[in-house]
Amino acid sequence: MTTLTPVLSDLWDAPRSWKLEAYQDAGGYQALRTALSMETADLVTMVKDSGLRGRGGAGFPTGLKWSFLPPPDGGPRYLVVNADESEPGTCKDVPLMMANPHVLLEGVIITSMAIGCHRAFIYIRGEVVHVYRRLLAAVEEARAAGFLGENILGSGYDLEVVVHAGAGAYICGEETALLDSLEGRRGQPRLKPPFPAVAGLYSRPTVVNNVETIASVPLIVANGADWFNHMGTERSKGHGLFSLSGHVAKPGQYEAPLGITFRELLDMAGGIRDGHRLKFWTPGGSSTPILTDEHLDLVLDYESVGAAGSMLGTRALQVFDETTSVVRCVSRWNDFYQHESCGKCTPCREGTYWMKEILHRLEAGKGTEGDIDLLLDVADNIDGRSFCALGDASAQPVKSGIAYFREEFEQGLHTPAWELFPYEANALYSGVAS
């Protein structure tokens, strides 16, 4: 049996855990002292050796990403933390920053030092104002303690951290769109190559990493690469936050080694709500193809979830029971992609619009002959043909939904989804009265 491994979440139940004092009492900023005594190349090697892979969904090896920066040329280099957590189902970075902003900040300082950056940015979505307050306050606390600013802890190393609030756009979670947004433009993705490592923010070498990725760095530095890579599976190392939501008895954050199974997590979350059974779930947000009760024993690491035809993504496990209409869910996810499509490329902009027309018909029981094949055809014309991953993502709920539950889409030719699956049966109110 796999057990939970609270690392990033370990401080969350401490009194006023967001304060510098609480973080330091738990050993915080010791890793920074260790890092200041190390060669920067050794820091990069250490993170490479740990096996840490990007926690924002793509799973790219973090140390390798850092090592792609060209040799220093005397000009600026940037670290940009992607704190634009917006992928439907994903809810790990926001509580992490709310409860312990300093672990992120310590990671930012160590990473900046490792890549030779003197001005780092944390790009946080604008729709979580209290989390933004906590980050702003943490930066001020860290500066007053000498962990930020000029000559950090007498090391001669200087760093400024800017916390930047976005303004509501899912696409800004895509790293190049994020950079355009941070440059004060519409958040639209850039053509790659050049990758941000070569020409990122202000066309300078830039590392863009997710919050949880950067927050994992201090503990790797403190405990060593081996400590980290002894957790997890062969190619998916370390611990990660698994976020369970939906029709489970105890939704929430569960920090476990990668490689825990869905069944183990579901058991920890008290199983499906009373009197109901699992129907379908997403392993890592709405952009990862849905899975079903056939996949209960799936090992949640990058390789195994990939082999099952989906993606580990952000470990956002949205769980739906048998009362839920797949057509309704797929239709609503597509509404999201259509709403958030930046409009830059035709397959995504037009494709999500036409899929919306068809899915709304099917949900209302007014589908026409051939709609399902048409839907699949449109999805295929987006998937792999759009400018960035948003378009590809929009095709996933549609394709996987039809693959596992085609008969429900066929019923959409004559019966509304709300008659097949009365929507009032889905709601789960934990409050007193509705």
Partner 1 sequence: MTTPPSRPGSAVHDARAARHSYSAEVLERLSADAEQILAKYPEARSALLPLLHLVQSEDGYVSPAGIAFCADVLDLSRASVSAVATFYSQYKRHPNGEYTVGVCTNTLCAVMGGDAIFDRLSDHLGVGHDETTDDGKITLERLECNAACDYAPVMMINWEFFDNQTPGSAVETVEKLLAGEPVKPTRGADSVATFKEVSRVLAGFDDGRADEGEAAGPATLVGLELARKNDWRAPAGRTEQAAEHEAGTEPVGDTGSSAERKPQAPADTSPSGPTAGDDSDAKGSGKEGSA
Judged by CB under 8 A, the chain residues 248 through 307 that form the site for partner 1 are 250-261, 264, 268-269, 286, 297, 299-301, 304
Alpha-carbon distances, residue 350 vs 342, 346, 382 (angstroms):
11, 6, 9
Does residue 245 belong to the site contacting partner 1 (CB under 8 A)?
A: yes
Does residue 396 belong to the site contacting partner 1 (CB under 8 A)?
A: no
What residues pair up with 79 in beta bridges, in sequence order? 120, 207
Nearer to partner 1, 4 or 199 (CB): 4
Instruction: Restricting to residues 313-332, name those near partner 1 by CB under 8 A.
Output: 316, 318, 320, 324, 328-329, 332
Does residue 214 belong to the site contacting partner 1 (CB under 8 A)?
A: no
Nearer to partner 1, 94 or 388 (CB): 94
Smallest distance, Å, CB 66 to partner 1?
21
- Characterise 432 by phi-psi region: left (phi > 0), alpha (psi -120 to 50), beta (else): alpha
Nearer to partner 1, 70 or 343 (CB): 343
Instruction: Restricting to residues 127-146, name those near partner 1 by CB under 8 A.
Output: 127-130, 132-134, 136-137, 140
Instruction: Restricting to residues 172-201, name those near partner 1 by CB under 8 A.
Output: 181-187
Q: Tell how far CA 72 is from the center of its chain.
A: 30
Smallest distance, Å, CB 370 to partner 1?
26
Nearer to partner 1, 12 or 385 (CB): 12
Nearer to partner 1, 196 or 257 (CB): 257
Radius of gyration of the chain (CA): 22
DSSP state of 44: H
How many separate helices (H) and strands (E) can be counted in the chain? Answer: 17, 9
Does residue 404 belong to the site contacting partner 1 (CB under 8 A)?
A: no
Does residue 209 belong to the site contacting partner 1 (CB under 8 A)?
A: no
Q: Which of 18, 21, 25, 243 is nearest to 131 (CA)?
A: 18
Nearer to partner 1, 186 or 406 (CB): 186
Neighbours of 28 (CB within 10 A): 21
Question: Could you tell me which residues come within 8 angstroms of residue 328 by beta carbon, excluding any fewer than 6 positions away?
Answer: 363, 417, 418, 421, 423
Does residue 164 belong to the site contacting partner 1 (CB under 8 A)?
A: yes
Number of residues that bind partner 1 (CB under 8 A): 125
Does residue 424 belong to the site contacting partner 1 (CB under 8 A)?
A: yes
Choose the stretch contacting partner 1; rule: CB under 8 A; options: 66-74, 352-360, 371-379, 424-432: 424-432
Alpha-carbon distances, residue 219 vs 16, 27, 31, 145, 238 (angstroms):
21, 10, 7, 20, 11
**Choice from 169, 266, 291, 358 touching partner 1 (CB under 8 A):** 169
**Choice from 32, 79, 81, 94 touching partner 1 (CB under 8 A):** 94
Does residue 5 belong to the site contacting partner 1 (CB under 8 A)?
A: yes
Smallest distance, Å, CB 219 to partner 1?
7
Q: How far apart are CA 91 and CA 314, in angstroms?
A: 9
Instruction: Restricting to residues 37-66, name those near partner 1 by CB under 8 A.
Output: none
Smallest distance, Å, CB 342 to partner 1?
8
Contact at 8 Å (CB) between 73 and 91? no
Smallest distance, Å, CB 88 to partner 1?
4
Nearer to partner 1, 67 or 292 (CB): 292
* DSSP strand pairing (206-210 vs 78-83): parallel
Q: How far apart are CA 329 and CA 362, in angstroms?
A: 12
Nearer to partner 1, 87 or 371 (CB): 87
What's the per-residue H, E or C state across 186-224? CCCCCCCCCCCCCCCHHHCCEEEEEHHHHHHHHHHHHHC
Nearer to partner 1, 248 or 375 (CB): 248
Choose the stretch contacting partner 1; rule: CB under 8 A; options: 37-45, 108-116, 333-341, 362-370: 333-341
Per-residue interface string for the shown chain with partner 1, residues 335-364, x marking contact by CB under 8 A: -x--xx-x----------------------
Does residue 432 belong to the site contacting partner 1 (CB under 8 A)?
A: yes
Q: How far apart are CA 96 and CA 239, in angstroms?
A: 14
Q: Which of 86, 146, 82, 72 is nearest to 120 (CA)?
A: 82
- Characterise 309 by phi-psi region: left (phi > 0), alpha (psi -120 to 50), beta (else): left
Nearer to partner 1, 249 or 369 (CB): 249
Q: How far apart are CA 261 and CA 76, in angstroms?
A: 43
Instruction: Restricting to residues 215-234, name those near partner 1 by CB under 8 A.
Output: 219, 222-224, 227, 230-234
Neighbours of 349 (CB within 10 A): 17
Smallest distance, Å, CB 369 to partner 1?
27
